[in-house]
A and B are shown apart, each in its own frame.
Chain A
Amino acid sequence: MTNALEITQLNYRKNTKTILTDVNLQIAPGKIVGLLGENGAGKTTLMRLIAGVAKNAKGTIAVHGETREAPRRAFVSFSEALQGFRPADKLSQIRDFYALAYPDFSAKKYLDLITFLQIDDDQKLSTLSKGTREKFIIALTLSREAAVYLLDEPFNGIDSMSRKRIISSIIQWKQDSATMVISDHYVSEIAALLDEVVIIKDHTVCAHKSSDQIRSEFGLGIEAFYESIYEGDIHDDEL
Protein backbone atom coordinates (compact mmCIF):
# COMPACT_ATOMS: atom_id res chain seq x y z
CA MET A 1 0.00 0.00 0.00
CA THR A 2 1.33 3.43 -0.92
CA ASN A 3 2.12 5.62 2.04
CA ALA A 4 0.18 8.85 2.27
CA LEU A 5 3.44 10.59 2.92
CA GLU A 6 6.96 9.40 2.31
CA ILE A 7 9.94 11.65 2.94
CA THR A 8 13.43 10.41 2.18
CA GLN A 9 16.71 12.10 3.16
CA LEU A 10 15.24 15.57 3.15
CA ASN A 11 17.68 18.41 3.71
CA TYR A 12 16.80 22.07 3.67
CA ARG A 13 18.78 25.24 4.22
CA LYS A 14 17.54 28.78 4.07
CA ASN A 15 19.67 31.92 4.01
CA THR A 16 22.71 29.68 4.60
CA LYS A 17 21.17 28.37 7.82
CA THR A 18 20.36 24.70 8.31
CA ILE A 19 16.66 24.17 8.98
CA LEU A 20 16.22 20.43 8.41
CA THR A 21 18.75 17.65 8.04
CA ASP A 22 18.25 14.04 6.93
CA VAL A 23 14.53 13.92 7.59
CA ASN A 24 12.99 10.51 6.90
CA LEU A 25 9.32 9.96 7.56
CA GLN A 26 6.61 7.55 6.45
CA ILE A 27 2.98 8.05 7.32
CA ALA A 28 0.24 5.58 6.40
CA PRO A 29 -3.13 6.71 5.00
CA GLY A 30 -5.89 7.56 7.48
CA LYS A 31 -3.68 8.59 10.38
CA ILE A 32 -3.88 11.70 12.51
CA VAL A 33 -0.32 12.65 13.35
CA GLY A 34 0.92 15.24 15.82
CA LEU A 35 3.99 17.13 14.65
CA LEU A 36 5.62 18.41 17.81
CA GLY A 37 8.61 20.61 18.42
CA GLU A 38 9.70 23.93 19.87
CA ASN A 39 8.98 27.17 18.11
CA GLY A 40 11.46 27.46 15.30
CA ALA A 41 12.23 23.75 15.26
CA GLY A 42 11.18 23.55 11.60
CA LYS A 43 7.60 22.32 11.84
CA THR A 44 6.18 24.99 9.56
CA THR A 45 9.06 24.55 7.13
CA LEU A 46 8.46 20.80 6.97
CA MET A 47 4.78 21.41 6.21
CA ARG A 48 5.61 23.98 3.55
CA LEU A 49 8.04 21.55 1.97
CA ILE A 50 5.36 18.84 1.88
CA ALA A 51 2.86 21.33 0.46
CA GLY A 52 5.36 22.21 -2.27
CA VAL A 53 5.82 25.89 -1.45
CA ALA A 54 9.26 25.76 0.13
CA LYS A 55 11.95 25.45 -2.51
CA ASN A 56 15.43 24.14 -3.07
CA ALA A 57 15.36 21.17 -0.70
CA LYS A 58 17.43 18.05 -1.26
CA GLY A 59 15.82 14.64 -0.97
CA THR A 60 12.39 13.44 -2.02
CA ILE A 61 8.89 14.03 -0.76
CA ALA A 62 6.13 11.78 -2.08
CA VAL A 63 2.46 12.34 -1.37
CA HIS A 64 0.53 9.27 -2.47
CA GLY A 65 3.55 8.35 -4.56
CA GLU A 66 3.60 11.71 -6.34
CA THR A 67 6.94 13.47 -6.04
CA ARG A 68 6.46 16.28 -8.58
CA GLU A 69 5.66 19.58 -6.92
CA ALA A 70 2.60 20.82 -8.80
CA PRO A 71 0.57 17.57 -8.86
CA ARG A 72 1.53 17.02 -5.22
CA ARG A 73 -0.11 20.31 -4.27
CA ALA A 74 -3.41 18.94 -5.60
CA PHE A 75 -3.31 16.20 -2.94
CA VAL A 76 -2.45 18.47 -0.05
CA SER A 77 -4.73 20.84 1.84
CA PHE A 78 -2.57 23.23 3.87
CA SER A 79 -3.99 25.60 6.47
CA GLU A 80 -2.73 28.72 4.77
CA ALA A 81 -2.90 32.00 6.71
CA LEU A 82 -5.00 33.79 4.03
CA GLN A 83 -2.09 36.11 3.27
CA GLY A 84 -3.15 36.61 -0.35
CA PHE A 85 -6.44 38.25 0.58
CA ARG A 86 -7.19 41.85 1.43
CA PRO A 87 -8.65 42.88 4.79
CA ALA A 88 -11.73 44.25 3.01
CA ASP A 89 -12.46 40.89 1.33
CA LYS A 90 -15.60 39.15 2.47
CA LEU A 91 -15.32 35.57 3.70
CA SER A 92 -17.74 34.49 0.99
CA GLN A 93 -15.35 35.91 -1.62
CA ILE A 94 -12.54 33.85 -0.11
CA ARG A 95 -14.82 30.80 -0.29
CA ASP A 96 -15.41 31.57 -3.98
CA PHE A 97 -11.66 31.69 -4.49
CA TYR A 98 -11.24 28.26 -2.89
CA ALA A 99 -14.13 26.82 -4.87
CA LEU A 100 -12.58 28.05 -8.09
CA ALA A 101 -8.98 27.24 -7.21
CA TYR A 102 -9.43 23.70 -5.90
CA PRO A 103 -11.43 21.10 -7.84
CA ASP A 104 -11.81 19.03 -4.64
CA PHE A 105 -13.48 21.87 -2.71
CA SER A 106 -16.88 20.69 -1.44
CA ALA A 107 -19.47 23.45 -1.06
CA LYS A 108 -21.58 21.18 1.15
CA LYS A 109 -18.72 20.38 3.50
CA TYR A 110 -17.91 24.07 3.70
CA LEU A 111 -21.49 24.93 4.62
CA ASP A 112 -21.63 22.18 7.25
CA LEU A 113 -18.33 23.33 8.70
CA ILE A 114 -19.05 27.04 8.96
CA THR A 115 -22.45 26.23 10.48
CA PHE A 116 -20.85 23.94 13.03
CA LEU A 117 -18.04 26.40 13.77
CA GLN A 118 -20.53 29.27 13.98
CA ILE A 119 -18.97 31.47 11.33
CA ASP A 120 -21.00 34.05 9.45
CA ASP A 121 -19.33 34.31 6.05
CA ASP A 122 -20.97 37.61 5.22
CA GLN A 123 -18.30 39.36 7.32
CA LYS A 124 -15.15 41.05 6.17
CA LEU A 125 -11.83 39.39 6.85
CA SER A 126 -10.60 42.38 8.86
CA THR A 127 -13.46 42.10 11.39
CA LEU A 128 -12.60 38.56 12.52
CA SER A 129 -11.15 37.82 15.93
CA LYS A 130 -8.10 35.59 16.06
CA GLY A 131 -10.21 32.61 17.09
CA THR A 132 -12.79 33.09 14.34
CA ARG A 133 -10.08 33.63 11.75
CA GLU A 134 -8.43 30.37 12.77
CA LYS A 135 -11.78 28.57 12.68
CA PHE A 136 -12.42 29.96 9.22
CA ILE A 137 -9.01 28.76 8.02
CA ILE A 138 -9.80 25.30 9.39
CA ALA A 139 -13.22 25.34 7.67
CA LEU A 140 -11.60 26.17 4.32
CA THR A 141 -8.83 23.62 4.77
CA LEU A 142 -11.19 20.79 5.71
CA SER A 143 -13.69 21.72 2.98
CA ARG A 144 -11.30 20.28 0.45
CA GLU A 145 -11.47 16.55 -0.05
CA ALA A 146 -7.74 16.13 0.01
CA ALA A 147 -5.59 13.07 0.69
CA VAL A 148 -3.38 14.89 3.18
CA TYR A 149 -4.31 17.76 5.48
CA LEU A 150 -1.62 19.89 7.04
CA LEU A 151 -2.80 22.02 9.96
CA ASP A 152 -0.09 24.39 11.12
CA GLU A 153 -0.58 25.26 14.79
CA PRO A 154 -4.35 25.55 14.53
CA PHE A 155 -4.76 26.11 18.26
CA ASN A 156 -2.30 28.92 18.64
CA GLY A 157 -3.67 31.65 20.88
CA ILE A 158 -7.36 30.83 20.61
CA ASP A 159 -9.96 30.36 23.31
CA SER A 160 -10.92 26.93 24.62
CA MET A 161 -14.43 26.95 23.12
CA SER A 162 -13.07 27.51 19.62
CA ARG A 163 -10.44 24.89 20.28
CA LYS A 164 -13.06 22.31 21.22
CA ARG A 165 -15.13 23.09 18.16
CA ILE A 166 -12.10 22.79 15.90
CA ILE A 167 -11.21 19.42 17.43
CA SER A 168 -14.79 18.16 16.99
CA SER A 169 -14.89 19.34 13.40
CA ILE A 170 -11.67 17.46 12.69
CA ILE A 171 -13.17 14.24 14.08
CA GLN A 172 -16.40 14.75 12.21
CA TRP A 173 -15.17 15.83 8.78
CA LYS A 174 -11.86 14.10 8.17
CA GLN A 175 -12.50 11.30 5.67
CA ASP A 176 -11.36 7.90 6.97
CA SER A 177 -8.76 7.49 4.24
CA ALA A 178 -7.31 10.98 4.63
CA THR A 179 -4.14 11.65 6.57
CA MET A 180 -3.82 14.64 8.83
CA VAL A 181 -0.73 16.24 10.28
CA ILE A 182 -1.29 18.74 13.09
CA SER A 183 1.63 20.77 14.36
CA ASP A 184 1.68 22.18 17.84
CA HIS A 185 4.08 22.92 20.62
CA TYR A 186 1.51 22.29 23.33
CA VAL A 187 0.00 18.88 23.01
CA SER A 188 -2.23 17.94 25.93
CA GLU A 189 -5.51 19.10 24.41
CA ILE A 190 -5.09 17.08 21.23
CA ALA A 191 -3.41 14.04 22.79
CA ALA A 192 -6.56 11.91 22.60
CA LEU A 193 -6.84 12.73 18.91
CA LEU A 194 -3.46 11.52 17.76
CA ASP A 195 -2.69 8.12 16.24
CA GLU A 196 0.97 8.92 16.00
CA VAL A 197 3.44 11.49 17.19
CA VAL A 198 6.41 12.90 15.30
CA ILE A 199 8.87 14.96 17.31
CA ILE A 200 11.25 17.37 15.65
CA LYS A 201 14.39 18.30 17.51
CA ASP A 202 17.85 19.40 16.40
CA HIS A 203 16.71 19.91 12.78
CA THR A 204 15.45 16.39 12.31
CA VAL A 205 12.76 13.86 13.22
CA CYS A 206 14.02 12.43 16.50
CA ALA A 207 11.00 10.27 17.31
CA HIS A 208 8.09 8.81 15.42
CA LYS A 209 5.86 6.60 17.57
CA SER A 210 2.27 5.56 17.78
CA SER A 211 0.43 7.12 20.72
CA ASP A 212 -0.43 3.71 22.14
CA GLN A 213 3.21 2.68 21.91
CA ILE A 214 4.20 5.73 23.95
CA ARG A 215 1.55 4.97 26.54
CA SER A 216 2.21 1.25 26.85
CA GLU A 217 6.00 1.12 26.27
CA PHE A 218 7.03 4.20 28.18
CA GLY A 219 4.02 4.41 30.51
CA LEU A 220 3.94 8.13 29.74
CA GLY A 221 1.38 10.57 28.48
CA ILE A 222 2.18 12.17 25.14
CA GLU A 223 2.90 15.52 26.74
CA ALA A 224 5.26 13.92 29.25
CA PHE A 225 6.99 11.91 26.52
CA TYR A 226 7.50 15.03 24.43
CA GLU A 227 8.88 16.96 27.39
CA SER A 228 11.24 14.22 28.44
CA ILE A 229 12.66 14.05 24.93
CA TYR A 230 13.26 17.77 24.89
CA GLU A 231 14.79 17.71 28.36
CA GLY A 232 17.02 14.80 27.43
CA ASP A 233 15.48 12.32 29.90
CA ILE A 234 14.90 9.88 27.08
CA HIS A 235 17.97 9.26 24.97
CA ASP A 236 18.15 8.53 21.29
CA ASP A 237 19.12 4.90 21.83
CA GLU A 238 15.94 4.35 23.81
CA LEU A 239 13.73 5.42 20.95
Chain B
Amino acid sequence: MTSFSHAFRVMWRPKFRSMNQLLFFNLIAVVITMLYQIWQLGLANLEMITTVMGWGAVFGFVAFILLTRQNEQMLVSDTYRLLPTGDTKLYLANLVTSLVALVYVGVVQVVLVLIGTAMTGKTIRNWFQTNVNFQMNAADLRNLALYGTTTVFWAVAIVLWIWVFVNLIHFGTNTISAFLPNVQQRIVKGVLAVILTWVAIRFMSWIAHLESQVYNHFTTVSDITLNASGIWLDLLSLFVAIAVVAALNIFMMKRWVEAKY
Protein backbone atom coordinates (compact mmCIF):
# COMPACT_ATOMS: atom_id res chain seq x y z
CA MET B 1 0.00 0.00 0.00
CA THR B 2 1.34 3.34 -0.98
CA SER B 3 2.21 6.14 1.40
CA PHE B 4 0.95 9.70 1.36
CA SER B 5 4.19 10.98 -0.16
CA HIS B 6 3.82 8.43 -2.92
CA ALA B 7 0.24 9.48 -3.63
CA PHE B 8 1.46 13.07 -3.51
CA ARG B 9 4.07 12.47 -6.20
CA VAL B 10 1.62 10.62 -8.43
CA MET B 11 -0.97 13.39 -8.23
CA TRP B 12 1.54 16.20 -8.33
CA ARG B 13 3.00 15.43 -11.72
CA PRO B 14 0.00 16.21 -13.98
CA LYS B 15 -0.78 19.38 -12.04
CA PHE B 16 2.82 20.52 -12.19
CA ARG B 17 2.81 19.88 -15.92
CA SER B 18 -0.36 21.86 -16.59
CA MET B 19 0.86 24.71 -14.37
CA ASN B 20 4.10 24.82 -16.35
CA GLN B 21 2.15 25.02 -19.58
CA LEU B 22 0.17 27.89 -18.13
CA LEU B 23 3.30 29.70 -16.92
CA PHE B 24 4.78 29.34 -20.37
CA PHE B 25 1.87 31.35 -21.80
CA ASN B 26 2.14 33.75 -18.87
CA LEU B 27 5.79 34.46 -19.74
CA ILE B 28 4.94 34.95 -23.39
CA ALA B 29 2.24 37.45 -22.40
CA VAL B 30 4.72 39.34 -20.17
CA VAL B 31 7.41 39.42 -22.83
CA ILE B 32 5.02 40.61 -25.54
CA THR B 33 3.67 43.36 -23.26
CA MET B 34 7.22 44.45 -22.43
CA LEU B 35 8.21 44.54 -26.09
CA TYR B 36 5.14 46.64 -26.77
CA GLN B 37 6.14 49.02 -23.94
CA ILE B 38 9.70 49.31 -25.22
CA TRP B 39 8.35 50.12 -28.65
CA GLN B 40 5.89 52.68 -27.23
CA LEU B 41 7.84 54.27 -24.37
CA GLY B 42 11.47 53.33 -24.98
CA LEU B 43 13.74 51.09 -22.98
CA ALA B 44 14.48 53.75 -20.34
CA ASN B 45 10.89 53.96 -19.19
CA LEU B 46 10.31 50.21 -19.09
CA GLU B 47 8.42 49.27 -15.95
CA MET B 48 8.00 45.58 -15.40
CA ILE B 49 6.18 45.33 -12.11
CA THR B 50 2.72 46.42 -13.25
CA THR B 51 2.97 44.12 -16.26
CA VAL B 52 4.02 41.13 -14.18
CA MET B 53 1.41 41.75 -11.52
CA GLY B 54 -1.34 42.38 -14.04
CA TRP B 55 -0.69 39.21 -15.96
CA GLY B 56 0.02 37.43 -12.67
CA ALA B 57 -3.50 38.18 -11.50
CA VAL B 58 -5.01 36.94 -14.77
CA PHE B 59 -2.96 33.76 -14.95
CA GLY B 60 -3.23 33.17 -11.21
CA PHE B 61 -6.99 33.15 -11.60
CA VAL B 62 -6.81 30.81 -14.59
CA ALA B 63 -4.48 28.54 -12.60
CA PHE B 64 -7.02 28.48 -9.79
CA ILE B 65 -9.84 27.55 -12.18
CA LEU B 66 -7.73 24.84 -13.85
CA LEU B 67 -6.72 23.38 -10.52
CA THR B 68 -10.31 23.43 -9.27
CA ARG B 69 -11.24 21.40 -12.32
CA GLN B 70 -8.32 18.99 -12.00
CA ASN B 71 -9.00 18.66 -8.28
CA GLU B 72 -12.52 17.50 -9.12
CA GLN B 73 -11.68 15.26 -12.05
CA MET B 74 -8.95 13.28 -10.36
CA LEU B 75 -11.29 12.14 -7.62
CA VAL B 76 -13.87 10.80 -10.04
CA SER B 77 -11.60 9.09 -12.54
CA ASP B 78 -10.77 5.40 -12.23
CA THR B 79 -7.17 6.17 -13.13
CA TYR B 80 -6.67 7.75 -9.71
CA ARG B 81 -9.28 5.86 -7.73
CA LEU B 82 -7.53 2.59 -8.64
CA LEU B 83 -4.31 3.69 -6.94
CA PRO B 84 -3.47 1.35 -4.07
CA THR B 85 -3.97 4.19 -1.60
CA GLY B 86 -6.65 4.69 1.01
CA ASP B 87 -9.36 7.21 0.13
CA THR B 88 -8.25 9.53 2.93
CA LYS B 89 -4.71 9.74 1.63
CA LEU B 90 -5.95 10.11 -1.92
CA TYR B 91 -8.27 12.96 -1.01
CA LEU B 92 -5.68 14.81 1.05
CA ALA B 93 -2.90 14.27 -1.50
CA ASN B 94 -5.19 15.71 -4.15
CA LEU B 95 -6.01 18.77 -2.07
CA VAL B 96 -2.41 19.38 -1.03
CA THR B 97 -0.97 18.95 -4.54
CA SER B 98 -3.54 21.42 -5.89
CA LEU B 99 -2.55 23.92 -3.22
CA VAL B 100 1.17 23.42 -3.77
CA ALA B 101 0.66 23.84 -7.52
CA LEU B 102 -1.12 27.14 -6.90
CA VAL B 103 1.62 28.26 -4.51
CA TYR B 104 4.15 27.30 -7.15
CA VAL B 105 2.46 29.63 -9.64
CA GLY B 106 2.49 32.35 -6.97
CA VAL B 107 6.17 31.84 -6.22
CA VAL B 108 7.01 32.13 -9.92
CA GLN B 109 5.13 35.44 -9.97
CA VAL B 110 7.14 36.69 -6.99
CA VAL B 111 10.36 35.65 -8.71
CA LEU B 112 9.27 37.56 -11.80
CA VAL B 113 8.59 40.65 -9.71
CA LEU B 114 12.00 40.29 -8.08
CA ILE B 115 13.62 40.05 -11.50
CA GLY B 116 11.69 43.16 -12.49
CA THR B 117 12.92 44.91 -9.33
CA ALA B 118 16.50 43.91 -9.97
CA MET B 119 16.24 45.28 -13.48
CA THR B 120 14.85 48.61 -12.30
CA GLY B 121 15.59 49.03 -8.61
CA LYS B 122 14.23 52.54 -8.55
CA THR B 123 10.84 51.58 -9.84
CA ILE B 124 9.85 49.34 -6.97
CA ARG B 125 10.48 52.12 -4.52
CA ASN B 126 8.41 54.49 -6.62
CA TRP B 127 5.65 51.90 -6.84
CA PHE B 128 5.57 51.45 -3.10
CA GLN B 129 5.66 55.18 -2.50
CA THR B 130 2.70 55.86 -4.72
CA ASN B 131 0.62 52.88 -3.62
CA VAL B 132 1.56 52.39 0.00
CA ASN B 133 2.23 54.81 2.78
CA PHE B 134 5.94 54.16 2.99
CA GLN B 135 6.93 56.05 6.13
CA MET B 136 7.54 52.98 8.23
CA ASN B 137 9.41 52.39 11.43
CA ALA B 138 10.48 49.02 12.83
CA ALA B 139 7.12 48.36 14.50
CA ASP B 140 5.29 49.10 11.28
CA LEU B 141 7.51 46.69 9.44
CA ARG B 142 6.63 44.03 11.98
CA ASN B 143 2.97 44.81 11.49
CA LEU B 144 3.44 44.62 7.76
CA ALA B 145 5.06 41.19 8.13
CA LEU B 146 2.23 40.08 10.38
CA TYR B 147 -0.43 41.24 7.94
CA GLY B 148 1.49 39.70 5.10
CA THR B 149 1.42 36.36 6.89
CA THR B 150 -2.24 36.76 7.78
CA THR B 151 -3.08 37.51 4.17
CA VAL B 152 -1.25 34.41 2.97
CA PHE B 153 -3.06 32.25 5.53
CA TRP B 154 -6.36 33.75 4.52
CA ALA B 155 -5.66 33.17 0.87
CA VAL B 156 -4.78 29.53 1.55
CA ALA B 157 -7.86 29.06 3.70
CA ILE B 158 -10.17 30.60 1.11
CA VAL B 159 -8.73 28.53 -1.71
CA LEU B 160 -8.99 25.32 0.31
CA TRP B 161 -12.48 26.23 1.41
CA ILE B 162 -13.63 26.73 -2.18
CA TRP B 163 -12.13 23.39 -3.20
CA VAL B 164 -13.60 21.34 -0.37
CA PHE B 165 -16.90 23.11 -0.89
CA VAL B 166 -16.99 22.28 -4.61
CA ASN B 167 -16.17 18.67 -3.65
CA LEU B 168 -18.98 18.75 -1.13
CA ILE B 169 -21.54 19.84 -3.72
CA HIS B 170 -20.32 17.26 -6.17
CA PHE B 171 -20.12 14.36 -3.73
CA GLY B 172 -23.32 15.38 -2.03
CA THR B 173 -25.41 15.23 -5.21
CA ASN B 174 -23.62 12.02 -6.17
CA THR B 175 -24.52 10.44 -2.83
CA ILE B 176 -28.12 11.60 -3.00
CA SER B 177 -28.55 10.05 -6.43
CA ALA B 178 -27.38 6.74 -4.99
CA PHE B 179 -30.32 6.65 -2.60
CA LEU B 180 -33.33 8.35 -4.11
CA PRO B 181 -35.45 7.52 -7.15
CA ASN B 182 -35.37 10.02 -10.00
CA VAL B 183 -38.28 12.31 -9.09
CA GLN B 184 -37.28 12.81 -5.46
CA GLN B 185 -33.70 13.22 -6.63
CA ARG B 186 -34.69 16.20 -8.75
CA ILE B 187 -36.56 17.85 -5.89
CA VAL B 188 -33.71 17.38 -3.44
CA LYS B 189 -31.14 18.57 -5.96
CA GLY B 190 -33.27 21.66 -6.70
CA VAL B 191 -33.51 22.54 -3.02
CA LEU B 192 -29.81 21.87 -2.61
CA ALA B 193 -28.99 24.14 -5.56
CA VAL B 194 -30.94 27.03 -3.98
CA ILE B 195 -29.25 26.58 -0.61
CA LEU B 196 -25.81 26.30 -2.14
CA THR B 197 -26.28 29.37 -4.30
CA TRP B 198 -27.25 31.31 -1.21
CA VAL B 199 -24.22 30.00 0.70
CA ALA B 200 -21.95 30.82 -2.23
CA ILE B 201 -23.28 34.40 -2.47
CA ARG B 202 -22.88 34.92 1.28
CA PHE B 203 -19.37 33.56 1.11
CA MET B 204 -18.42 35.83 -1.79
CA SER B 205 -19.71 38.95 -0.07
CA TRP B 206 -17.95 37.93 3.12
CA ILE B 207 -14.69 37.53 1.20
CA ALA B 208 -15.18 40.91 -0.48
CA HIS B 209 -15.67 42.46 2.94
CA LEU B 210 -12.62 40.69 4.30
CA GLU B 211 -10.54 41.73 1.35
CA SER B 212 -11.37 45.43 1.75
CA GLN B 213 -10.57 45.13 5.46
CA VAL B 214 -7.19 43.54 4.83
CA TYR B 215 -6.43 46.01 2.07
CA ASN B 216 -7.25 48.92 4.38
CA HIS B 217 -4.90 47.55 6.99
CA PHE B 218 -2.24 47.10 4.39
CA THR B 219 -2.39 50.58 2.84
CA THR B 220 -2.69 52.42 6.14
CA VAL B 221 -0.19 50.23 7.87
CA SER B 222 1.48 53.04 9.77
CA ASP B 223 -1.51 54.13 11.82
CA ILE B 224 -3.37 51.00 12.67
CA THR B 225 -3.50 49.47 16.06
CA LEU B 226 -2.77 45.81 16.01
CA ASN B 227 -6.13 44.22 16.63
CA ALA B 228 -5.48 41.04 14.77
CA SER B 229 -6.91 38.52 17.21
CA GLY B 230 -10.38 38.74 15.64
CA ILE B 231 -8.96 37.97 12.24
CA TRP B 232 -6.98 35.03 13.60
CA LEU B 233 -10.05 33.63 15.32
CA ASP B 234 -12.04 33.87 12.10
CA LEU B 235 -9.18 32.21 10.33
CA LEU B 236 -9.08 29.39 12.84
CA SER B 237 -12.82 28.79 12.51
CA LEU B 238 -12.50 28.73 8.73
CA PHE B 239 -9.79 26.07 8.99
CA VAL B 240 -11.99 24.05 11.33
CA ALA B 241 -14.81 24.32 8.78
CA ILE B 242 -12.44 23.14 6.04
CA ALA B 243 -11.40 20.16 8.15
CA VAL B 244 -15.02 19.23 8.86
CA VAL B 245 -16.11 19.49 5.22
CA ALA B 246 -13.01 17.58 4.08
CA ALA B 247 -13.77 14.82 6.60
CA LEU B 248 -17.34 14.69 5.31
CA ASN B 249 -16.08 14.46 1.72
CA ILE B 250 -13.70 11.65 2.61
CA PHE B 251 -16.52 9.83 4.35
CA MET B 252 -18.74 10.11 1.27
CA MET B 253 -15.84 9.06 -0.93
CA LYS B 254 -15.21 5.96 1.15
CA ARG B 255 -18.85 4.96 1.23
CA TRP B 256 -20.65 6.10 -1.91
CA VAL B 257 -18.89 8.31 -4.40
CA GLU B 258 -17.63 6.35 -7.39
CA ALA B 259 -15.63 7.34 -10.43
CA LYS B 260 -17.51 8.08 -13.61
CA TYR B 261 -17.07 5.35 -16.18
List A residues at the B interface (Cβ < 8 Å): 14-16, 44, 48, 51-56, 69-71, 73-74, 78, 80-85, 96-97, 100-103
User: For B79, what are the chain A residues with a Cβ–Cβ distance below 8 Å?
Assistant: 80, 82-85, 97
User: For A52, what are the chain B residues with a Cβ–Cβ distance below 8 Å?
Assistant: 82
Confirm or deny: B55 has a beta carbon within 8 angstroms of a beta carbon on chain A. no
Shortest Cβ distance from A89 into B: residue: B14
B interface residues, tally (CB under 8 Å): 32
Shortest Cβ distance from A44 into B: residue: B261
Q: Is the CB of A56 within 8 A of B82?
A: no
* CB < 8 Å neighbour of B84 from A84, A100, A102: A102
* CB < 8 Å neighbour of B254 from A51, A53, A55: A55
User: Which of B178, B180, B261 is most buried by chain A, counting CB atoms within 10 A of its CB?
Assistant: B261
Bound Cα distance A100, B93 (Å): 15
Shortest Cβ distance from B253 into A: residue: A55
Bound Cα distance A102, B82 (Å): 10
User: For A84, what are the chain B residues with a Cβ–Cβ distance below 8 Å?
Assistant: 73-74, 77-80
Bound Cα distance A101, B10 (Å): 6
Confirm or deny: B177 has a beta carbon within 8 angstroms of a beta carbon on chain A. yes
Q: Determine the main DSSP class of A at the interface with B.
A: loop
Q: What would be 7 A-B contacts, judged by CB atoms less than 8 Å apart?
A: A53-B259, A71-B84, A73-B83, A81-B78, A81-B261, A83-B261, A100-B9
Confirm or deny: B151 has a beta carbon within 8 angstroms of a beta carbon on chain A. no
Q: Is the CB of A55 within 8 A of B10?
A: no
Bound Cα distance A66, B9 (Å): 26
Bound Cα distance A69, B255 (Å): 11
User: For A71, what are the chain B residues with a Cβ–Cβ distance below 8 Å?
Assistant: 1, 84
Q: Is the CB of B13 within 8 A of A74?
A: no
CB distance from B44 to the nearest CB of A (A): 42
User: Which of A16, A44, A69, A101 is most buried by chain B, counting CB atoms within 10 A of its CB?
Assistant: A101
Q: Is the CB of B13 within 8 A of A100?
A: yes
CB distance from A95 to the nearest CB of B (A): 12
Confirm or deny: B181 has a beta carbon within 8 angstroms of a beta carbon on chain A. yes
Shortest Cβ distance from A85 into B: residue: B79
Bound Cα distance A69, B84 (Å): 8
Q: Is the CB of A97 within 8 A of B10?
A: yes
Kindly identify, within residues 219 to 261 of chain B, every residue whose CB is under 8 Å from any CB belonging to chain A.
254-261
